[in-house]
Amino acid sequence: MLLNRATGELVITKSQLHDGQEVEIYFQSSANNNDRGNRERYFPVLPAELRINMAVHWLVRRPYQAIPSGTLRESLWLSVGLHIVQLQPAPSHDAQPSPPWLHRDGEAVTYIVLMNREGVTGGINYVTTPRWVNHQPEEVPPQDLLAQTTLTAPLDGLGVIDERVAHHVTSVRHAERGGSVPERVADGFFGVGSVPGVKRLSRESHCLI
Ligand SMILES: [Fe+2]
């Protein structure tokens, strides 16, 4: 979709057809995703009722307003990719994000907003200095680990300026499987106030700038 930066108007762009299905095409270079990079990925289009849903539009406008001035190139229209990603583990296996390691997306800014979380453990978000792309959080020394947080309530969110950091979310495990995916340090966001450029948007939402 396109966002008019002067008026806040959102324009839904035409979707593509793939195997008879309406899809949004998402492309990342292998430099940004060496798990599924250099090929088109097909996400289902937003259901028609969500495309005109004011809450969804708010979900685009509100994070945009939190982007520090000077981050984005000057242009009237901003291209916005909005994807619903579901990590759905089974009792027999964890659900893994792609790529399953620290990475950059190749976008100017990425926001992750939780819609719902039920009956799972894991799904811990890490943000590190950019040199740790293609590594696991366990390998990152404390001084390079900028943020760690688990989004737990609907609309909890995290935003990153892509070129400044690497980010990752860990696998999600079905609660019936017992235990939890490995966690290196205690859950919770840290670094607010001590890391230049990290700020809270609200009690539960964080913006890494
Ligand atoms: Fe990402």
- Provide the domain count of the chain: 1
103 CA from centroid of ligand 1 (Å): 6
Q: Give the model confidence (pLDDT) of 55-86 as tens digits.
A: 989 999 999 998 988 889 889 999 898 888 88
CA distance to 59, 93, 158, 204, per residue, from 113 (Å):
8, 24, 7, 11
51 CA from centroid of ligand 1 (Å): 23
What is the pLDDT tens value at each position of the chain, 209 positions in all? 899 999 999 998 877 888 888 887 777 677 766 666 677 778 778 888 888 899 989 999 999 998 988 889 889 999 898 888 889 999 999 999 888 999 998 889 999 999 999 999 999 999 999 999 999 999 999 999 999 999 999 988 899 999 999 999 999 999 888 765 544 333 333 333 233 333 333 333 333 33
168 CA from centroid of ligand 1 (Å): 6
Domain span including residue 21: 2-208
Q: Give the model confidence (pLDDT) of 83-104 as tens digits.
A: 888 899 999 999 998 889 999 9
- The answer to whether 148 and 195 have CB atoms below 8 angstroms apart is no
CATH number at residue 13: 2.60.120
144 CA from centroid of ligand 1 (Å): 18
Which of 206, 60, 208 is closest to 130 using CA atoms? 208
pTM for the model = 0.78
